[in-house]
């Protein structure tokens, strides 16, 4: 399997993130590891061959140091650990930060629109996204307002604009695009560079589970990639895979989602 959506952060930042979840949600995460080797060990024990991991710069002045940490951590974890860079548009040279991160080993970019307060269609992202596309990388973006709100924030319109502006860029929308998954599934039919990841969308006990028909998943199966949010999930690691299996997907669709599509998404996963 290939998991395109996992979290690794420097210790102080990870501790702050866990405090946020403890104070503002009912999610129980304490039993999940945060130390990079321990996080990777669980993934590999569950048959994950390669995994993308990331952190995020929620304020200016963090991105360069975070990217250095991500690339160093990938080297420590060895083959199969694939870092995604972070940038902040209020830094002096986010495109330069992106290019440096790519040279250091990052395979793409992670953007969390809500945490970073940076919409992906902000024109200042243009040179950053150009650098990603030139590197044959991809952007993984948390575009929806979940888990804070189940109301749309019109992510599909923003993502469509980004794809139009950057004709070779590949974009993965996290959490199956919820709550706008139906709109994304429709957009995917005309846009082969758009992908959805499964993160927390299919686990039967996930607080962010989507209501989607098996036929719709199978119809879009070539543009769906496997992601979990490990280790920041309030259910066992295999919950996502078990949820996909519970849909009764055909085996070719399940293989495509759990590995084959990621190999087409970026050379780092090949």
Whether residue 74 contacts residue 39, with contact meaning beta carbons closer than 8 Å, is answered with no
End-to-end CA distance of the chain, in Å?
A: 12
Using the 8-state DSSP alphabet, how is residue 174 labeled? G
What is the C-alpha radius of gyration for the chain, rounded to an integer number of angstroms?
17
CATH superfamily of 2-269: Metal-dependent hydrolases (3.20.20.140)
**Angle (CA) 42 46 49, round 5°:** 95
**Angle (CA) 171 173 175, round 5°:** 160
Domain limits of the chain? Answer: 2-269
| Whole-angstrom distance, CA of residue 173 vs CA of residue 159 | 9
**Angle (CA) 81 210 187, round 5°:** 80
Q: What is the pLDDT along the chain (270 residues), one digit of tens a residue?
A: 999 999 999 999 999 999 999 999 999 999 999 999 999 999 999 999 999 999 999 999 999 999 999 999 999 999 999 999 999 999 999 999 999 999 999 999 999 999 999 999 999 999 999 999 999 999 999 998 777 767 788 999 999 999 999 999 999 999 999 999 999 999 999 999 999 999 999 999 999 999 999 999 999 999 999 999 999 999 999 999 999 999 999 999 999 999 999 999 999 999
| Whole-angstrom distance, CA of residue 172 vs CA of residue 5 | 10
DSSP 72-89: HHHHHH-TTEEE-B---T
The whole-model pTM stands at: 0.97
| Whole-angstrom distance, CA of residue 79 vs CA of residue 94 | 28
Question: Which residues face 195 on adjacent strands?
Answer: 172
Whether residue 121 contacts residue 89, with contact meaning beta carbons closer than 8 Å, is answered with no
Kindly report the backbone phi and psi dihedral angles of residue 173, in degrees, each rounded to the nearest multiple of 5, phi listed first.
Answer: -95, 125
């Amino acid at each position: 399997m290939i998991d395109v959506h996992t979290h690794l952060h420097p210790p102080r930042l990870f501790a702050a993130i866990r405090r946020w979840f403890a104070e503002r949600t009912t999610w129980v995460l304490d039993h999940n590891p945060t130390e990079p080797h321990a996080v990777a060990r669980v993934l590999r024990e569950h048959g994950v061959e390669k995994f993308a991991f990331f952190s995020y710069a929620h304020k200016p002045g963090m991105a360069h140091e975070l990217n250095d940490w991500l690339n160093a951590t990938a080297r420590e974890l060895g083959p199969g650990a694939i870092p995604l860079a972070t940038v902040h548009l209020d830094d002096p040279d986010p495109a330069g930060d992106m290019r440096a991160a790519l040279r250091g080993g990052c395979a793409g970019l992670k953007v969390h629109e809500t945490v970073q307060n940076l919409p992906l269609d902000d024109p200042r992202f243009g040179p950053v996204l150009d650098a990603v596309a030139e590197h044959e990388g991809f952007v993984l973006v948390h575009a929806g307002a979940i888990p804070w709100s189940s109301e749309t924030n019109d992510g599909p319109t923003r993502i469509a604009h980004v794809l139009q502006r950057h004709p070779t860029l590949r974009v993965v929308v996290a959490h199956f695009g919820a709550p706008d998954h139906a709109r994304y599934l429709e957009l995917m039919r005309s846009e082969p560079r758009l992908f959805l990841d499964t993160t927390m969308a299919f686990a039967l006990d996930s607080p962010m589970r989507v209501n989607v028909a098996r036929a719709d998943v199978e119809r879009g199966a070539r543009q769906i990639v496997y992601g979990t949010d490990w280790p920041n999930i309030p259910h066992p690691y295999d919950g996502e895979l078990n949820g996909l299996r519970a849909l009764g997907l055909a085996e070719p669709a399940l293989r495509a989602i759990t590995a084959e599509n990621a190999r087409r998404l970026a050379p780092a996963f090949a």
